[in-house]
């Protein structure tokens, strides 16, 4: 892959018939130097914001198509009109371009691409392979630890239920290697028959290895064989009048059956496959992904990619596949509800990325089609629920706008709160809500820096609001981005309101509506009072749905602020005076504590004793001694 061809300033367009014509001239100015080679192109707006990322088998031909806007849909015409410059990356193949395109879309989030905003890594079950007695554990993230990974599971809850059932069924250890090495007697897991206690040799290595192999077989799809073997052992123990052993295997069979009971629906023809189905309605798309591994259903997840209205469902599905599997390997088989454009190319790209052959199929009949139809039904129902929730949210936002005298419903609400205990570990918090509900990736924490306002709610609020809006104003002085609120909600009364109004007035942002919400008498929910500039304090009807919604916003800000404060306080409790000594990092801190046993002992140590510590030279020893023994 070549380095990005960072677009130099394009020639000044000669035509000025409007934004669309100017955009066409900008694009045309690059055609002379573009090669007939595969690659990725980026369209950028006036301020450098990435508008669109695309891939092409031939960059020259693909970019040339944008110089004929009459043949493009309205969405693409708007994009062309906003294009001020372009950037290019030449790749070795179209497959490489497709993979790079998916990576850039996820990283840059261009507004004209299909965007998968709620993508994440999925949890797996890991049977570790780096210990003589392997650990059974939940794993999320990069697969750097040796062992066997089983999944993905659609949720952490599904993994936790499965791990708990596997403990009852196979009695594998879940403790860390450190805990395992420090045990001198069996732990509670042994007492409740969820572990055979290999840490204290209550089971031989060969017996534990057999347990591990049975668990691997069960997770690999051979569950019927394992359960049949357990049933034979249970009957044999019962015939031998060994009822305790028979009861143990009975409980194991029940535990393994419980795993299968949570798998909702299974299809015999599916071994390792993902079923990906899309449903579109009202300009929105829902994509349901079902995960089958070893013939077992590991759950499903609904996605709602962001895209322009009118975009074909096949194109949405194609963009979803490239982005979804960008950070995870695809299984050998993907069953799809619709035939995406360039299906062979996507299959080749996913095969290259996953390290094995990946087949994309659109089944028309049989068991596989039934699995796809089941996924389509789930997608249709999930989209219906989401549209109903959006409708309800829209009504609440309209009610908020009417309550506070806004000309239209607010598109972005920011709620602020502070948290501290007697002036310590002071933090401010901002949460964001809008038509989609809570926008958690826009939440912000503010560690209070000004020592003079610690514990002063007014001073802390002033610092938080000043930092938030001064920074945003610096980054976007023209206020063109969507990061500006239509409504600022402050947890507090008239004093907090006045502070917020003063801050915004100082920044010449006095067109932003600010409202303070104060708890009612005796801090009773439902009797809140609202404070606004130029209006007497007022309280909505106690059972007003809009009041309930505003209470939820206030409570979410309070929860986030309290959580941030607790995190900061917990970190502070693990710090010692040694952390405050300049030049003392984790390694030297560890050496000091291992040598002296505690921070107090380090403080009492003499210069000669400090010099005796491994890794502490004379200069560092003098610095430590001076920190504890010299005043001022």
Sign of the C-alpha dihedral, residues 83, 303, 119, 398?
positive
Beta bridge partners of 34: none
342: left (phi over 0), alpha (psi -120 to 50) or beta: left
Residues contacting 369, CB < 8 A, separation 6+: 363
At 359, give phi and psi (nearest 5°): -105, 135
CATH topology of domain 413-572: Nucleotidyltransferase; domain 5 (3.30.420)
Where along the chain do the CATH 1.10.150.20 domains lie? 577-629
Report d(CA 272, CA 334) in Å as an integer: 9
- Structure token digits, residue 529: 């009072």
pLDDT, position 437:
87
Query: Taking residues 536-554, what's their average pLDDT?
Result: 89
Place of tokens 């809006």: 469
Range(s) within the chain of domains with CATH label 3.30.420.340: 413-572
Give φ, ψ of 489 to 5 degrees: -110, 125
Residue 267: predicted pLDDT = 62
- For residue 225, pLDDT beyond 80: no
Tell the burial category of 471 from Cβ atoms under 10 Å away from its Cβ (0-12, 13-18, 19+).
exposed
Rounded mean pLDDT, 320-330: 90
Whether the pLDDT of residue 260 is over 70: the answer is: no
Q: What is the DSSP string of 326-390?
A: GGSPPPSEEEESS--TTHHHHHHHHHHHHTS--EEE---SHHHHHHHHHHHHHHHHHHHHHHHHH
Query: What is residue 8's predicted lDDT score, i.e. its pLDDT?
Result: 43
74-78, 91-95, 157-161: least confidently modelled range: 157-161
Query: What are the pLDDT digits (tens) for 336-361?
Result: 999 999 999 999 999 999 999 999 99
What mean pLDDT is predicted for residues 123-140? 90
* pLDDT confidence of residue 222: 66
| Secondary structure of residue 85 in the 3-state scheme | strand
Q: Where in the chain is the domain with CATH 3.30.420.10?
A: 273-384
Q: What is 577-629's CATH topology?
A: DNA polymerase; domain 1 (1.10.150)
Q: Supply the CATH classification number for the domain 273-384.
A: 3.30.420.10
- Give the pLDDT confidence of 420-455 residue by residue, as tens digits: 766 567 888 999 999 888 988 899 999 887 877 777
User: Across residues 153-175, what is the average pLDDT?
Assistant: 82
The pLDDT assigned to 422 comes to 62
DSSP label of 306:
B
User: What is the per-residue pLDDT for 316?
Assistant: 94
Q: Which CATH superfamily is domain 19-108 in?
A: GIY-YIG endonuclease (3.40.1440.10)
Contact criterion met (CB below 8 Å) for 492 and 516: yes
The percent of residues above 70 in pLDDT, for the chain, comes to 89
> Which residue in this structure is represented by tokens 């949460």?
431
Q: What is the pTM of this model?
A: 0.68
Q: Which residues sit opposite 52 in a β-bridge?
A: 43
363: number of Cβ within 10 Å:
17
Q: What is the pLDDT of residue 379?
A: 93
Residue 632 has pLDDT above 70, yes or no: no
Q: How far apart are CA 459 and CA 120, in angstroms?
A: 38
Write out the E strands in 441-500: 444-447, 487-491
The pLDDT tens digits of the residues spanning 262-274 come to: 444 556 667 789 9
pLDDT for 601 equals 82
Check whether 42 has a pLDDT greater than 90: yes
Residue 284 near residue 383, CB atoms below 8 Å: yes
Cite the DSSP H helix spans in 364-517.
Answer: 366-404, 457-475, 494-506
d(CA 337, CA 360): 10
Distance, in Å, from the CA atom of 461 to the CA atom of 469, rounded to the nearest integer, reads 12
**DSSP-assigned beta bridge partners for residue 302:** 288
Q: What is the mean pLDDT of the chain?
A: 85
Which carries the bigger pLDDT value, residue 627 or residue 538? 538
* Tokens matching residue 475: 């980054």
Is residue 363 predicted with pLDDT exceeding 50?
A: yes
By DSSP bridging, strand 147-150 and strand 487-491 are: unpaired
Cα–Cα distance measured from residue 437 to residue 35, given in angstroms and rounded to the nearest whole number: 46
> 298 vs 305, which has greater pLDDT?
305
Rg (CA), the chain: 31
Q: How far apart are CA 45 and CA 68, in angstroms?
A: 19
579-601 average pLDDT score: 80
pLDDT tens string 380-401: 999 988 888 888 899 999 999 9
pLDDT at 6 over 50: no
Locate CATH 3.40.1440.10 in the chain: 19-108
Query: Would you give the DSSP letter of residue 459?
Result: H
């Amino acid at each position: 892959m070549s380095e990005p061809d960072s677009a130099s300033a394009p020639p000044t367009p000669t035509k000025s018939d409007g934004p669309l014509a100017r955009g066409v001239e900008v694009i045309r100015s690059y055609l002379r130097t573009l090669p007939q080679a595969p690659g990725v192109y980026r369209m950028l707006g006036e301020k450098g914001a990435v508008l669109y990322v695309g891939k092409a088998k031939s960059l020259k031909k693909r970019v040339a198509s944008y110089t004929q806007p009459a043949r493009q849909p309205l969405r693409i015409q708007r994009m062309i009109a906003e294009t001020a410059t372009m950037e290019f990356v030449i790749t070795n193949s179209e497959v490489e371009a497709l993979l790079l395109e998916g990576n850039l879309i996820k990283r840059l989030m261009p507004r004209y691409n299909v965007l998968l905003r709620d993508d994440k890594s999925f949890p797996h079950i890991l049977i570790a392979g780096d210990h003589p007695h392997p650990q059974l554990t939940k794993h999320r993230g990069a697969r750097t630890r040796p062992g066997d990974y089983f999944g993905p599971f659609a949720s952490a809850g599904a993994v936790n239920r499965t791990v708990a059932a596997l403990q009852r069924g196979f009695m594998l250890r879940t403790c860390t290697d450190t805990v395992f090495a420090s045990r001198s007697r069996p732990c509670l897991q042994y007492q409740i028959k969820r572990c055979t206690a290999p840490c204290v040799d209550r089971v031989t290595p060969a017996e534990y290895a057999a347990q591990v192999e049975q668990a691997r077989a069960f997770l690999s799809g051979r569950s019927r064989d394992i359960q049949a073997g357990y049933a034979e052992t249970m009957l044999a123990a019962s015939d031998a009048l060994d009822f305790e052993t028979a009861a143990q295997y009975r409980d194991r069979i029940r535990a393994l059956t419980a795993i299968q009971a949570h798998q909702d629906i299974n299809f015999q023809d599916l071994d390792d496959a993902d079923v990906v189905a899309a449903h579109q309605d009202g300009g929105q798309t829902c994509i349901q992904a079902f995960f089958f591994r070893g013939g077992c259903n590991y759950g499903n997840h609904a996605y709602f990619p962001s895209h322009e209205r009118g975009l074909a469902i096949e194109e949405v599905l194609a963009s979803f596949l490239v982005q979804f599997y960008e950070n995870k390997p695809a299984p050998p088989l993907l069953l799809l509800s619709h035939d995406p454009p360039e299906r062979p190319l996507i299959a080749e790209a996913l095969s290259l990325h996953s390290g094995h052959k990946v087949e994309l199929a659109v089944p028309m009949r049989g068991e596989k089609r039934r699995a796809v139809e089941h996924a389509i039904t789930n997608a249709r129902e999930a989209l219906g629920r989401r549209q109903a929730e959006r409708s309800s949210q829209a009504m609440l936002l309209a009610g908020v706008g009417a309550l506070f005298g806004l000309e239209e419903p607010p598109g972005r609400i920011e709620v602020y709160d502070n948290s501290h205990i007697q002036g310590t570990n002071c933090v401010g918090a901002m949460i964001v809500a809008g038509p989609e509900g809570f926008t958690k990736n826009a939440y912000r924490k503010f560690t209070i820096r000004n020592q003079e306002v610690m514990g002063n709610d007014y001073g802390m609020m002033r610092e938080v609001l000043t930092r938030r809006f001064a920074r945003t104003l610096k980054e976007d002085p023209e206020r063109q981005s969507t990061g500006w609120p239509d409504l600022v909600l402050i947890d507090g009364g008239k004093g907090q309101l006045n502070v917020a109004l003063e801050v915004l007035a100082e920044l010449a942002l006095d067109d932003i509506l600010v409202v303070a919400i104060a708890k009612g008498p005796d801090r009773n929910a439902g009797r809140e009072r609202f404070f606004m500039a130029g209006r007497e304090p007022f309280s909505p009807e106690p059972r007003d749905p809009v009041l309930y919604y505003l209470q939820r916003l206030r409570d979410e800000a309070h929860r986030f602020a309290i959580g941030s404060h607790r995190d900061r306080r917990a970190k502070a409790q693990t710090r010692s005076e040694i952390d405050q000594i300049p030049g003392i990092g984790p390694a030297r801190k560890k050496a000091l504590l291992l040598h002296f046993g505690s921070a107090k002992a380090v403080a009492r140590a003499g210069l000669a004793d400090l010099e005796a510590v491994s890794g502490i030279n004379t200069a560092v020893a003098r610095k430590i001694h001076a920190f504890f023994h010299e005043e001022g």
